[in-house]
């Protein structure tokens, strides 16, 4: 079995994040890391590999050249190799363009199972998997909190606004996992040492047969028009409880017509 895990290179969680006013894109010049939510997808792939006895886990990413180093964390966890699509022409891709590039890279791999994490911690989109599944014409199960694999099928349990769904799909399939599904392992020292030696391939858009005009801003269908300050909240007040806090709260709620 071959499992592809889609992983994103994101700014370090501790770094201050800013949007570059000239490009209107997230400033990615600082230190980066493997998107922490993608570590759940890597972990689930490794668990499936352990259960199946034999499987290949390949990390597929689209990002800047320096993303390769961050992806080594997935190799250190136990993934077998990395494919990074890195091309100047891909920068600034929106959902439509990113899904096109990623789907091309995944087509090349022909994996039985494509896994996504639940969101990128720098994008708030959490929808890429559905676009990729449509391009690959594969069944999709998203937000999976429990995953089972047997007899060429996967079964995912997930949370919705109303309760739980259990959805089944034949392989090949696309699965997006929730971060409730597992606790990603920490790479062991041996894994970290061995990660550098594992196959790491960098591809251009041309290698995938994706024309440059179908990627980046040229291939995108959304635009960023302006950046604005967030609206200010009204005045805030803070009091210390002197024994009458409950009365103060009730008076406040009545004044604001909330009671």
Judged by CB under 8 A, the chain residues 21 through 50 that form the site for another protein are 24, 26
| Complex with another protein: residue 151 or 161, whichever CB lies closer | 161
Between 50 and 168, name the residue whose CB sits nearer to another protein: 168
Tell me how far, at minimum, the Cβ of 55 lies from another protein, in Å.
21
Query: Which residue number, 53 or 243, has a Cβ lying nearer to another protein?
Result: 243
Q: Which of 97, 96, 98, 80 is nearest to 9 (CA)?
A: 98
Q: Which is nearer to another protein, 48 or 169 (CB)?
A: 169
What does the block give as tokens for 110?
């022909």
Chain centroid to CA 181: 14
Minimum distance of another protein from residue 83's CB (angstroms) = 20
Let me know: does 130 contact 143? Beta carbons within 8 Å.
no
CA distance 201 to 65: 11
Site for another protein in 85-114 (CB under 8 A): 94-96, 99-100, 103
SS3 at position 246: helix
Question: Which stretch in 52-60, 123-131, 188-196, 205-213 sits in contact with another protein by CB under 8 A?
Answer: 123-131
- CA 215 – CA 209 distance, rounded (Å): 11
**Separation between Cα atoms, residue 229 and residue 254, nearest integer Å:** 31
Six-digit token string for 236: 């805030």
The count of residues interacting with another protein (CB under 8 A) is 83
15 makes contact with another protein (CB under 8 A): no
Through-space distance between the first and last CA atoms of the chain, rounded to whole angstroms = 59
Q: Which residues pair with 10 in a beta bridge?
A: 33
Helix (H) or strand (E) holding 60: strand 56-62
Q: What angle do CA 88, 90, 94 make, to 5 degrees?
A: 145
Binders of another protein among residues 213 to 242 (CB under 8 A) are 220-231, 233-241
Q: Per-residue string for binding with another protein, 129-158, x by CB under 8 A? A: xxxxxxx-xxxxxxx-----------x--x
DSSP-derived secondary structure letter, 84 = E
* Shortest Cβ 10–another protein spacing (Å): 12
Rounded least distance, CB 15 to another protein, Å: 12
Give the span between the Cα atoms of 22 and 100, in whole angstroms.
26
> Least distance from C-beta 156 to another protein, angstroms?
9
Chain positions 168 to 207 lying near another protein, rule: CB under 8 A, are 168-170, 173, 178-180
Sketch the per residue contact string, 50 through 89, with another protein: x for CB under 8 A, - otherwise: ----------------------------------------
């Amino acid at each position: 079995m071959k499992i592809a895990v889609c992983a994103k290179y994101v700014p370090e969680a501790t770094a201050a994040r800013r949007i570059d006013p000239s490009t209107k894109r997230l400033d990615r010049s600082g230190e980066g890391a493997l998107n922490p939510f993608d570590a759940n997808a890597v972990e689930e792939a490794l668990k499936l590999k352990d259960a199946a006895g034999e499987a290949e886990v390949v990390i597929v990413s689209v990002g800047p050249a320096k993303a390769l180093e961050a992806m080594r964390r997935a190799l250190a966890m136990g993934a077998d190799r990395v494919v990074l699509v890195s091309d100047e022409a891909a920068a600034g891709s929106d959902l439509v363009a990113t899904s096109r590039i990623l789907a091309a890279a995944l087509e090349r791999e022909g994996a039985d199972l494509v896994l996504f994490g639940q969101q990128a911690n720098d994008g708030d989109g959490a929808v890429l998997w559905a676009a990729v599944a449509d391009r690959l014409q594969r069944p999709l199960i998203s937000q999976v909190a429990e995953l089972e694999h047997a007899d060429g099928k996967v079964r995912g349990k997930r949370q919705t606004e109303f309760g739980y769904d259990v959805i089944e799909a034949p392989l090949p399939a696309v699965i997006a996992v929730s971060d409730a599904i597992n606790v990603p392992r920490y790479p062991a020292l041996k894994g970290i040492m061995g990660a550098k030696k594992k196959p790491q391939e960098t591809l251009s858009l041309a290698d995938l047969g994706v024309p440059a005009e179908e990627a980046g801003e040229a291939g995108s269908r959304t635009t960023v028009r302006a950046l604005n300050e967030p609206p200010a909240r009204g005045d805030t007040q803070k009091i210390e409880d002197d024994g009458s806090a409950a009365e103060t709260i009730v008076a406040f709620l009545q004044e604001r017509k909330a009671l």
